[in-house]
Amino acid sequence: MIIKLHDIEESISVRGTMDGSKYKRPDDVDLSFESPIEYELTVSKMGTDVHINGPIRCTLKLGCDRCLEAFSYPVSAYLDIELAPKADEAKPPELELKSEDLNLGFFEGDELELEPYVYEEVMLGVPIKALCDDACKGICPVCGRNQNTETCECGKSRGTSLAEKLQGFLKDR
């Protein structure tokens, strides 16, 4: 959704949905959208700066990092960003960022595209290690069975050669 900044006197409320797959990157292979991204944002103009805040919700389909099964993951995030007009300097001076600068973005022109900011906030809500359940047992390293749904005797019947070497070393002491 594109917002024309000259149409905003103080603030406006924007509600809508968007298709997240439109912004999906090639390296997001284990991610798909089960539902559209819903947002309810307030866009406020503060002088030349713009402040955007509001809740964002959607449901993703992720692959479990332990058992490789697909599962639904609800994302509920809150977008809170301040945008300033981009300076026309050829090369900006190097400055040390302060904590309040981390929530600052830049825009050009008199129009503002909201969807990339919404998508970025959803991606920040995706866990680094996606698990279908905290108690997920994963797959057996010997036979490859999903240990959440099937049992196997592979891991119980024999130890690894490294464990055997360690046991032999400890017995010799």
Q: What is the DSSP letter of 138?
A: -
* Residue 13 scores a pLDDT above 60: yes
pLDDT, residue 119, reads 93
Residue whose C-alpha is closest to residue 60's, from 42, 35, 85, 83: 35
**pLDDT of the residue at 57:** 96
pLDDT digits over 35-78, tens only? 999 999 999 988 888 899 999 999 999 999 999 999 999 999 99
Segment 76-115, tens digit of pLDDT: 999 999 988 877 665 566 777 676 656 677 778 788 889 9
Of 148 and 31, the structure prediction assigns the larger pLDDT to 148
pTM exceeding 0.85: no
